[in-house]
Each structure stands twice: as structure tokens, then as C-alpha cells.
């Protein structure tokens, strides 16, 4: 369960990074 949550967080972090890279 922890792994799933971490993966989800990683994905969101990655997306946010891209958006923040404007």
C-alpha cells in the first residue's frame, strides 16, 4: 500500500515539476 501511495506522489510531483518549469 505504501508503495502505491509513493508512486502516486512521485507521479504528481513529476507533473508539478513540468508545469512549474514553465
Q: 16: which 3 cell numbers?
A: 508539478
Task: Decide if pLDDT at 9 tops 70.
Answer: yes
3-state secondary structure of 13: helix
Q: 21: which 3 cell numbers?
A: 518549469
Q: What is the pLDDT of residue 22?
A: 66
Q: What is the pLDDT of residue 6?
A: 76
Q: Taking residues 5-13, report their average pLDDT.
A: 83
Q: What is the pLDDT of residue 16?
A: 93
Is the pTM for the entire model greater than 0.85? no
Between CA 7 and CA 19 the distance in angstroms is 19
Q: 4: which 3 cell numbers?
A: 502505491
Q: What is the pLDDT of residue 1?
A: 63
Buried b (16+ CB within 10 A) or exposed e, 10-20: eeeeeeeeeee
Amino acid at each position: 500500500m505504501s508503495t502505491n501511495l509513493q508512486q502516486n506522489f512521485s507521479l504528481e510531483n513529476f507533473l508539478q515539476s513540468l508545469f512549474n518549469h514553465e
